Amino acid sequence: MQKQCDGDTVTVPVPNHKELAIGTLQSIIKQSELNRELFEK
């Protein structure tokens, strides 16, 4: 997953699994610098 932000690109590796461990998901959310609530919808 990539996100453009202020001229920079943030790249976050996301495993291609049916299920993610909670720690993996938390790490993805933290690295993406997105609001956790976006993932809860």
Burial tier of 1 (Cβ tally within 10 Å: 0-12, 13-18, 19+)? exposed
pTM: 0.65
- Both structure tokens of 26: 């938390």
Domain boundaries, the chain: 2-40
Q: What is the tens place of the pLDDT at every residue in 1-41? A: 777 777 788 888 888 889 989 998 888 888 888 888 887 76
Q: What's the confidence (pLDDT) of residue 39?
A: 76
What is the spatial distance between Cα 21 and Cα 4, in angstroms, rounded to a whole number?
26
Q: Which residues of 2-40 are buried (b: 16+ CB within 10 A; e: fewer)?
A: eeeeeeeeeeeeeeeeeeeeeeeeeebbeebeeeeeeee
